[in-house]
Structure 1
Amino acid sequence: MDFASLIGIFSGISLIISAIFLAGDIRSFVNVPGMMIVLGGTMAATLLTFTFREVAAAFRAAAFAFTKDREDPNAAVETMIRICNVGRKKGLLELANLEPDSDFLKKACGLIADGSQEEEVRAALRTEIDSLKMRHFAVQDVFKKMGAYAPAFGMLGTLIGLVQMLSKLADPSAIGPAMAVALLTTFYGSLLSTMIFLPIAGKLKTRTISEVMQLEIMLEGSIAVMKGSNPLMIYEALSSFIPLRDRLPLEKMDVRQGAA
């Protein structure tokens, strides 16, 4: 569970609601027509921009990003050193029998065991990384677009409310509800954009950066295994991807030969 995200969302919403309570009545900020304009319009525009499958995939990815902890890059370094030990003691052909959790790493081990050249391995794995970036970009773009659409529909709702207000100036009792729609739709659009959609897009981007770093570690580690580098050299090369304060010393890593 990503507690930082949960704390951010709940604290932000709680502070906004508390400010509303301190300044007046929260019921004044509930307007069904305004919600219909902003939420309905944002979802409609999103479905016009993307396919239903892409939108559903984006929401699944968001749920995954907020519920699963980020992977530790030190674990990837440990895995590559263990694979190095297997290759040095049993030969590179033995890598084909490994069953790593990562499909990416499994592909790398298969390519190495098959006797592929360094350029071929690097090109194949680089294609996998680039494809992952493109898929993740498409998911992030869904929430970026929603973050842009929500304020736009908020302004559209404001115009609708102003037109309704101006058309009923002769009836003072109708001016208040129309003005509420005019103001609250802008509020709803800004709230959804700044508190929900854009932060989710940012969260997905950070997860992409983290996952790409994991794959880069596996790629460079695989090339080092092909070259027959020793575990210390592999550790020094791969730990460079990790900030100094977060690096786990080699002596504290579990790099005993075993399943990757």
Structure 2
Amino acid sequence: MDLGTIIGIVVGLVLVVVSILLSGSLVAFIDVPSILIVIGGTISATLVAYPMSAVVRSMKASMSIFFQPRIDHVGTVRELLKAADAVRKEGPLALEKMKPPSEFMGTAFQLVADGMRPEDIRHVLTIEAEAAYSRSMEVIGVMEKMAELAPAWGMIGTLIGLVIMLLNLSDPSAIGPAMAVALLTTFYGALWANFLLSPGATKLEERAGRQSEDFKLVIEGAMGMARNENPRQIQQRLMGFMPPSDRAELQAKAMAKKKA
């Protein structure tokens, strides 16, 4: 579970609900036709802009902001150093006995075990990493387009409501409630775009960047193993990719392991 996402959404919803209850009724802010216009219109327009397969992938990926844990660079480096130590002692075929935490790392281990040259390992893994990043950016692009379209469809729903209201001006007492309902579509569009779609796209973009950095660690580690380098030498090079906080965490865990 991504705790930050859960906390952000819960706190945001609580603030919106409390602000409504302090000055009005929550029921007054619920209008099914307005919700259908915003959600249905946004999805329909996105299907015009992108292939259906890309939109479906984006909807599935959007759920991962709640469940996918943060990528752990320190854990990746520790796994690579463990593998490098096994290669140094037993040879590349020792990697076939290991169970890597990710498919990408498993591919890297297999390439090393197969005796592929370091330059070829870099080439193969870089192609795979770039393809994964490209797929992630396509999903992010779809979500950003939906965030752009949602407020526009909210305005379209408001215009529809205003036209209906103006056609029924014979009853002045109904103008206020009708105007309130008409404005709800704008509210829904702005809320969906700025509370879920746009922040969700930013979350996925940050995650794609971290995954890309994680792939670089795996590539460098695999090349070091293919060259039969000392695990300490591999560690020093991998630490060059890591921020100071991750370096300190890695060194602290290494010290704790030695003391144990």
The separation in 1 between residues aligned to 2:162 and 2:124, in whole angstroms, is 58
Q: Counterpart in 2 of 1:212?
A: 212
Instruction: Map 1:184-203; keep pairs closer than 5 Å.
Output: 184-203=184-203
On the 8 A contact 1:47/1:55 being kept in 2, the answer is yes
Instruction: Map 1:139-150; keep pairs closer than 5 Å.
Output: 139-150=139-150
Q: Counterpart in 2 of 1:9?
A: 9
Instruction: Map 1:9-158; keep pairs closer than 5 Å.
Output: 9-158=9-158
The separation in 2 between residues aligned to 1:21 and 1:249, in whole angstroms, is 48
On the 8 A contact 1:33/1:181 being kept in 2, the answer is no
SS of the residue 2:69 aligns to: coil
On the 8 A contact 1:235/1:250 being kept in 2, the answer is no
The separation in 2 between residues aligned to 1:124 and 1:255, in whole angstroms, is 34
Deviation at 1:195, TM superposition (A): 0.7
On the 8 A contact 2:73/2:246 being kept in 1, the answer is no
Deviation at 1:226, TM superposition (A): 2.0
Deviation at 1:204, TM superposition (A): 1.2
Which residue type is aligned with residue 189 of structure 1? G
Q: Quickly say closer, same or farther: Cα 1:187–1:249, change in 2 above 3 A.
A: closer
- 1:180-223 CA deviation, whole Å, 9 max, x = no partner? 23311111110110111111111111221222222111011111
Q: Counterpart in 1 of 2:244?
A: 244
| Gaps in structure 2 of 5+ consecutive residues | none
SS of the residue 2:101 aligns to: coil
Which residue type is aligned with residue 127 of structure 2? T
On the 8 A contact 1:74/1:239 being kept in 2, the answer is no
| Gaps in structure 1 of 5+ consecutive residues | none
Q: Percent identity?
A: 39
The separation in 1 between residues aligned to 2:229 and 2:211, in whole angstroms, is 24
On the 8 A contact 1:82/1:255 being kept in 2, the answer is no
SS of the residue 2:240 aligns to: helix
- 1:90-140 CA deviation, whole Å, 9 max, x = no partner? 223443444423221222222223332222111110001101001111222
- 1:27-47 CA deviation, whole Å, 9 max, x = no partner? 222222222211221122233
The separation in 2 between residues aligned to 1:138 and 1:95, in whole angstroms, is 33
SS of the residue 2:229 aligns to: coil
SS of the residue 1:133 aligns to: helix
Which residue type is aligned with residue 4 of structure 1? G
The separation in 1 between residues aligned to 2:74 and 2:191, in whole angstroms, is 38
Query: So what's the TM-score if we normalise by structure 2?
Result: 0.89
**Bigger mean CA deviation after superposition, 41-50 or 151-160:** 41-50
**1:162 counterpart = 2:162:** yes
SS of the residue 1:169 aligns to: coil
Query: So what's the TM-score if we normalise by structure 1?
Result: 0.89
Deviation at 1:154, TM superposition (A): 0.7
Deviation at 1:178, TM superposition (A): 3.5
Q: Quickly say closer, same or farther: Cα 1:185–1:198, change in 2 above 3 A.
A: same
On the 8 A contact 2:115/2:226 being kept in 1, the answer is no
Instruction: Map 1:217-232; keep pairs closer than 5 Å.
Output: 217-232=217-232
Q: Quickly say closer, same or farther: Cα 1:182–1:226, change in 2 above 3 A.
A: same
On the 8 A contact 1:154/1:186 being kept in 2, the answer is yes
Q: Quickly say closer, same or farther: Cα 1:96–1:255, change in 2 above 3 A.
A: farther
On the 8 A contact 2:71/2:207 being kept in 1, the answer is no
The separation in 2 between residues aligned to 1:157 and 1:172, in whole angstroms, is 21
The separation in 1 between residues aligned to 2:65 and 2:172, in whole angstroms, is 49
**RMSD in angstroms over aligned alpha carbons?**
2.2
On the 8 A contact 1:83/1:95 being kept in 2, the answer is yes
The separation in 2 between residues aligned to 1:53 and 1:40, in whole angstroms, is 17
